[in-house]
Structure 1
Amino acid sequence: MPPKAIDAAAVRALIETNPDTLLVDVRTPAEYESSHIDGAINLPLGQVDRHLERITQDAGGQMVLICQSGSRAEQCQGKLTKAGLEETVVMSGGMNAWTAAGAPVIRGPERWALERQVRLVAGSIVLLSVIAGLWWPPAVGVAGFIGAGLTFAAITNTCAMGMALTKLPYNQPRNKVDVEASLARISRNANQR
């Protein structure tokens, strides 16, 4: 079943007509801290499995899932749908589409998006291994390994390199994400309906 998605303009209209719309940003805490939609809660994708039962039991009404480009929100939607929570939609294009539409955001310290960091690291490793391969031919194998990893990431819609990069100090927010507060907000939103 293809993901249910709506565009940024539809999300803006939904927020205007229903201010209680629950916006769940599944990006890393550092990405969320860098820029997010006013009123959105941060529940990183890496935390969803751990709290899946509670989310599906406590959520009520429609939930809009947001990430940087849409793929992590789609992963989250798949997990929630599989667990029995049907009323979720993905904001297609994610924060990229939101900001491109000129929609308002809360800004914090600027950080590169995780996808951009993956492109930088993967591209740099490939470039350096090809250059090193000019002097030591087996080094080209590293480029092949990275290429295989990126192919696997595209096919499975996962990214081991991205998950590893989230652990770097650069990707840590100034304030730790309060998952309990996010889960409480999901529950509170359900009780308001």
Structure 2
Amino acid sequence: MAQHSAQTASITPAALHRLVQEGRAPRVLDVRTPGEFRTVHIPGSYNVPLTTLREHRAELLSHLDEEVVLVCRSGARAEQAERALAEAGLPNLRVLAGGMNAWEAAGAPANRGDARWDMERQVRLVAGSLVLATGLVGVFVPGAHLIGTAIGAGLTYAAISNTCAMGVLLSKLPYNRGPRTDIRTVIAELRGDLRAKA
């Protein structure tokens, strides 16, 4: 198994856009939920949600040739995907610096579908609502405020560890899942692209 460096290699939106325009685009894997992907994504990218990528990384390795760029909303999930694939032995991985936020801010082309809230916004809504509700209930029910304290501790841990248990739970909701991401479909799409390149 390959050793993974602590430093994550990245690529700027401008550099990736230039490669796309020159016809030298690397394989772009978008690791957000299907719902987020349908809202907006880089043309030609493949949707391989982070949980699917982690579970099936060994199957994906033989279908990922040359360079791979990993994308999420802001970069955090893409970095987790990069670690998972690097640990499995895949070289030439880069993360899109700033994720889709930076891609859109740069004015690069994007395919758009129905608007949905991205995962970070959903986490903020749920966490904030729970803290607010438990704070108000705590006025009448002693100890209820401790639920908000636990949520605050969880968010602090999420920031330190660059993971988010609430985001993982929310990603399982039908709103975020959309059509089930089947690894066989993803691999078939990757194989089709490989044949087209040959």
CA distance in 1, matches of 2:26, 2:33: 21
1:91 corresponds in structure 2 to 96
Q: State TM-score, norm by structure 2.
A: 0.90
CA distance in 2, matches of 1:108, 1:57: 31
2:3 corresponds in structure 1 to none
Q: Of 157, 163, 177, which aligns to 2:181?
A: 177
Distance 1:42 1:57, change over 3 A: same
| Residue identity matched to 1:177 | T
2:13 corresponds in structure 1 to 8
Shift of 1:24: 0.6
Q: Deviations over 1:137-181 (max 9, x none)?
A: 3011001110111112122221111111112222232x4434323
Q: State TM-score, norm by structure 1.
A: 0.92
After the TM superposition, which of the residue ranges 148-157 and 92-101 deviates more from structure 2? 148-157
Does 2:105 align with 1:61? no
1:137 corresponds in structure 2 to 142
Q: Deviations over 1:8-53 (max 9, x none)?
A: 1111011122345211101001100111111111011010122111
User: RMSD across aligned C-alpha pairs, in angstroms?
Assistant: 1.7
Q: Of 60, 82, 85, which aligns to 1:80?
A: 85
CA distance in 1, matches of 2:71, 2:30: 5
| Percentage identity across paired residues of the two chains | 44
| Ranges in structure 2 where 5+ consecutive residues have no aligned partner | 1-5
2:109 corresponds in structure 1 to 104
CA distance in 2, matches of 1:107, 1:58: 27
Q: Of 10, 28, 36, which aligns to 1:31?
A: 36
CA distance in 1, matches of 2:69, 2:192: 16
Map 1:13-24 to 2 at 5 A.
Answer: 13-24=18-29
Count of matched residue positions in the alignment of Structure 1 and Structure 2 = 192
What secondary structure does 1:104 align onto?
coil
| Residue identity matched to 1:179 | I
Give yes or no for contact 2:31–2:49 (8 Å, CA) kept in 1. yes
